[in-house]
Chains A and B, each alone.
Chain A
């Protein structure tokens, strides 16, 4: 308390403290900032939920008007997924993952800070829409054409799209950072086969983020082009396709479910063994099933669209894959249960939440499989049965896992234990409240209550069931208040924790609580997946596993390759969209009207620039500064010629009256080539910066060379993308 008074009351210290947190690049502080942001929006989203449930508590209620209700459920969904689940989970990852692998920090601390600050920025953008003319009222998946200007003319959807775009950028940077950290920053002895499951799952999860989020970003870019630049990707009456939006959104949206659930799986995989005093049962199975989930999760999105009318073949295939993905998920549940069998289970708050997680998540999985069956899905889609199902996943699995992780890792973060008796209060209030609210919604849904209605007539049974559901929310709210009190109280008055209060076995417990700035003074030797067990039980250590050499590739290279991997998804979506509209030709301008010879001539310049850049790299390698500067300048010039050529092409098209809104060809053509041109422009600016740096003389340091190398990857990638664009847009029509 004395320390607290010191910090809060002394103005100089206070200023220092504020700045230290605002400008921090330390992964631990950023992790805490992520979590505080998530917690803040959890309250916001929770209050939104409370209003929704109050409105639905009794039939024919007019507490809220329909429009406000629509806005509330849109904000509630978007907030809870993008501003609560993701930052909270990423906060834990940010704090714990580098500690678990014995790293000093994340691979890119400043990128980490950027990723964090995207979160509040996105959150503010989303909620600013309320002041700027109306919040979005289109649901969290913002189906077209409802989300298009003719049907939603207020700027709410624009704010929604820009906010998600910003959040998406932050998330991608986080994933790039995590991959680079795990590959390049592991401590001595921490081989890939010895990674704790929390780290392994988040590592796999980062790849899933890089697959899924760029698809969302591509979709958001398209919907913004529709709304702001008069395009019509998703406007059926102008030749666009509303179903295309659904495909793009769910190709992101289903992996998104796994993106938020995999870190939760990781938490549970750490806590259950520690509180059962047994190593995890079948580490290899849990690790491999995670990979299976990542691969399969991008093959199942169609089950969100059974009622759209995709045709029987699609329904059948997506039904099968959706059932298939239940297998690796089920394997995990069995592993966690088997870990508990025969263990000496300590029923402390973290473990209680893990047990609740297991039960609730299994129920969520069972209703999930029922949605994989097309026939059943047709009956229950868009009913409260579905609402109950996904709340079981998001609350029953993810929130419960986080409620388990918080008391588990809180001692490490604050140096103090959370109160276990208050934890039990939270536990029982949440378990009772959660099940009251959501179990009965299954019944309501099967009775035919549709989702997203602002009120309902007094149908027998509906009234009391909705009332029960609403009462449950108050239990959860009370549980949350206890939780907040517990956090605040324990932070100042909690029992001092010590380094390893749970007798856990992974590396984060080998340092002080809270860890020093540099994380570790010295790392213990690592020979197995439980280094601290080996340290404490020298007479019976775990058998040595995964005794590979620790190879740490350059983190810059890993980072840029991961970033390029995400860009492939972005351009892939744009190219596929272009092909889709190319296959449905409309009257008006088409690809045959493009000037192929001119395009080929400036394309050659772009391809040649890859060659000249390669020469520049060789010159740099041989330490010939003059030659390197020349080749680099030539590269920039060639790139500029390409951009000039493209500008000229655009100008000619504009002059002949073709712009973005002319027809579908024009919309998709300008979007695809425009985004490519934007990437070239960014590449050019980066190259100019490097030219300037080399001119100033900083061309010999290893840092410069490594960065130069990475820019090269990016530049070559942009050229390769143009090969595909050139083929699809300009050469494909020739083959017909």
Chain B
């Protein structure tokens, strides 16, 4: 199969994912309507679909580790962030899950936990585990981002605290990225010798030049560098928020 054929055909029209999108779209419209920010919601849906039904998902599903990493980052960092941004400003949640420490652990845990070799393998081979993984990533991502992107200003961390929160999370995830990049053994052995269901392995290894070593290195680098770039962007957004807030801050200390 050539690359062109692959990109045009490898779309998984997963009925559960699609119906989930329809249901959440209708639900969003009826609960928030124009009060929310539908554009953000639409982008969240697009990224969500990109992660789960596009060829990326086929690759992530047991073929290419770095594709899995892209999917992972989209689901844990991008989709939840866009979703929280789409909520109307009056939206609020009272829950013990909105404690900063829980948020931090959820965000960092989502990265570390699912890259334990056993779990990573299971998620790449079993559909049920994969579904659990997707759900948990979205949830943990939302809990993590809540601290900086909660719709109501008073439920967010103060900007300086937000910077510390994001920076430490970034560092904790970078360490995993560094470990993945330099690990001489496969963290997720499934990706080393994929079961070639679609007959694309020769394209991946040959045309794309993705040997399994190089693949894992790219995966680690993706977690290390572009992911940190997302955090860095969020840190800059905190700086912007800090310097644009005209009101005296309500100090809690």
Binding site for B on A (CB under 8 A): 192-193, 284, 287-288, 291-292, 295-296, 299, 311-314, 317, 320-321, 324, 546-549, 551, 553, 572, 576, 579-580, 583-584
Contacts of A291 in B (CB 8 A): 163, 235-236, 239
Contacts of B232 in A (CB 8 A): 292, 295-296
On whether the beta carbons of B228 and A576 are closer than 8 Å, the reply is no
On whether the beta carbons of B217 and A299 are closer than 8 Å, the reply is no
- Smallest Cβ distance from A524 to chain B, in angstroms? 21
On whether the beta carbons of A548 and B251 are closer than 8 Å, the reply is yes
B240 within 8 A of A: yes
Contacts of B160 in A (CB 8 A): 192
On whether the beta carbons of A313 and B217 are closer than 8 Å, the reply is yes
Chain B residues with a Cβ closer than 8 Å to the other chain, count: 34
8 Å CB contact of A295 from B170, B175, B248, B251: B170
8 Å CB contact of B228 from A299, A311, A313, A549: A299
Contacts of A579 in B (CB 8 A): 179
Contacts of A546 in B (CB 8 A): 243
**Bound complex: CA A710 to CA B146 (Å):** 31
Identify which of residues 106-121 in chain B touch chain A, using a CB-to-CB cut-off of 8 Å. none
**Bound complex: CA A89 to CA B116 (Å):** 45
B128 within 8 A of A: no
- Smallest Cβ distance from B70 to chain A, in angstroms? 14
On whether the beta carbons of B170 and A313 are closer than 8 Å, the reply is no
* Given A313-B214, A313-B217, A321-B225, A292 and B240 contact (CB-CB distance below 8 Å): no
Nearest neighbor of B222 in chain A, beta-carbon distance: A317
8 Å CB contact of A580 from B182, B224, B229, B243: B182
B221 within 8 A of A: yes
* Given A295-B228, A583-B185, A548 and B221 contact (CB-CB distance below 8 Å): no
Binding site for A on B (CB under 8 A): 160, 163, 167, 170, 174-175, 178-179, 181-185, 214, 217-218, 221, 224-225, 228-229, 231-232, 235-236, 239-240, 242-244, 248-249, 251, 253
- Smallest Cβ distance from B158 to chain A, in angstroms? 9
On whether the beta carbons of A288 and B228 are closer than 8 Å, the reply is no
**Bound complex: CA A155 to CA B249 (Å):** 57
**Bound complex: CA A580 to CA B178 (Å):** 10
On whether the beta carbons of B235 and A284 are closer than 8 Å, the reply is no
- Smallest Cβ distance from A279 to chain B, in angstroms? 14
Could you list 23 A-B pairs, sorted by A, with CB under 8 Å? A192-B160, A284-B239, A284-B240, A287-B239, A288-B236, A288-B239, A288-B243, A295-B170, A295-B235, A299-B174, A299-B224, A313-B214, A313-B217, A313-B218, A314-B217, A320-B225, A548-B251, A549-B248, A549-B251, A551-B251, A572-B175, A583-B184, A584-B184
Nearest neighbor of B216 in chain A, beta-carbon distance: A313
**Bound complex: CA A579 to CA B183 (Å):** 9
On whether the beta carbons of A284 and B243 are closer than 8 Å, the reply is yes
On whether the beta carbons of A288 and B240 are closer than 8 Å, the reply is yes
Nearest neighbor of A553 in chain B, beta-carbon distance: B253
Nearest neighbor of B184 in chain A, beta-carbon distance: A583
On whether the beta carbons of B239 and A583 are closer than 8 Å, the reply is no
- Smallest Cβ distance from A564 to chain B, in angstroms? 12
Contacts of B253 in A (CB 8 A): 551, 553
Nearest neighbor of B219 in chain A, beta-carbon distance: A313
On whether the beta carbons of A193 and B243 are closer than 8 Å, the reply is yes
**Bound complex: CA A548 to CA B235 (Å):** 20
Contacts of B174 in A (CB 8 A): 299
Contacts of B167 in A (CB 8 A): 295
**Bound complex: CA A572 to CA B170 (Å):** 14
- Smallest Cβ distance from B222 to chain A, in angstroms? 8
On whether the beta carbons of A576 and B239 are closer than 8 Å, the reply is no
Nearest neighbor of B185 in chain A, beta-carbon distance: A583
In addition to A295-B232, A299-B224, A313-B214, 11 A-B residue pairs with Cβ atoms within 8 Å of each other are A284-B240, A292-B236, A313-B217, A314-B221, A321-B229, A548-B248, A548-B251, A549-B248, A549-B251, A572-B175, A583-B185
**Bound complex: CA A314 to CA B181 (Å):** 9
On whether the beta carbons of B214 and A311 are closer than 8 Å, the reply is yes
**Bound complex: CA A192 to CA B224 (Å):** 31
**Bound complex: CA A551 to CA B161 (Å):** 13
The 9 closest A-B pairs by CB, nearest first: A288-B239, A284-B243, A317-B221, A549-B251, A295-B232, A548-B249, A313-B218, A313-B217, A551-B253
